Amino acid sequence: MGIDISTLGLLSVAFFVAATLYSSVGHGGASAYLAIMALLSLPHEAMRPTALALNILVAGFGAWRFVCAGRFDWALFWPIALGAAPFAFMGGALKLPEDIYRPMLGAVLLFAAARLALPDARNADTAPRPPSPLVSGTAGAGIGLLAGLTGTGGGIFLSPLMIFLNWARAKDTTGIAASFIVINSAAGLAGNVASMRALPAYLPLLVGVVALGALVGTWLGVSRYSTLTLRRALALVMAIAGLKLVFT
């Protein structure tokens, strides 16, 4: 599958920006990659596997950086991941009518973006209250299914949930979300393994582009972002994803 040089150049620049922004908040960027490919009218069958493959790379690098920086909570992570993986696999194997779930999920993400952008009335020193493994595992199952159905890693759903319910502080969601995205993306791709045949010939170029974006983004996320900046960046990520689901 080939595309012209100008389109490939635009795709590369857009993917670099997306990977930088999303990796800075512990995400892989699948929702942005899907939006960019849709806007450039790339073949539909290549979009989902390409987004998930790049998601695994970017989120995997992010997980390593954020975990090494101490932004990870194993006790909170494992039940969420355990609940999510099988449902992400099932979601990857299913296909619901797009005119039903895309606008619905887009509205949810736009609401979450607006909520994150508002000042947080909760005391910044308030200690997080992690849920029981049953509650977090159930949440993981629901997010895993949504991620599998939409071809994303689920971080756009998990990060605001952890913040809204005070399961973790904003800065501590990054390592959890990135690790969660790796598992979900791999499970979603495995659920529709036949789609891997549609991976484009120019994928190695995109791999290099998003790897560079992840390097820049995780450096910003680990050492340069304040909690307020992190919340605003995440709100922007949520808004981009929501608009993509509603309008593309």
The C-alpha atoms of residue 43 and residue 38 are separated, in whole angstroms, by 8
Q: How far apart are the first and last CA of the chain?
A: 22
Which parts of the chain sit beneath pLDDT 50? Answer: 121-123
* CB-based burial label for 131 (10 Å; 0-12, 13-18, 19+): middle
**Tokens 């499970």, residue located:** 187
| pTM summary value | 0.83
- Which residues 6+ apart lie within 8 Å of 98 measured at CB? none
Domain count within the chain? 1
219-232 pLDDT tens trace: 887 776 555 666 67
Q: Which domain holds residue 165?
A: 5-247
Among 142, 136, 10, smallest CA distance to 77 is for 136
**Tokens 């999303």, residue located:** 22
38-85 pLDDT tens trace: 778 788 778 888 999 999 999 999 899 888 888 899 999 999 999 999
Beta strand segments in the chain, E: none
- pLDDT for res 123: 47
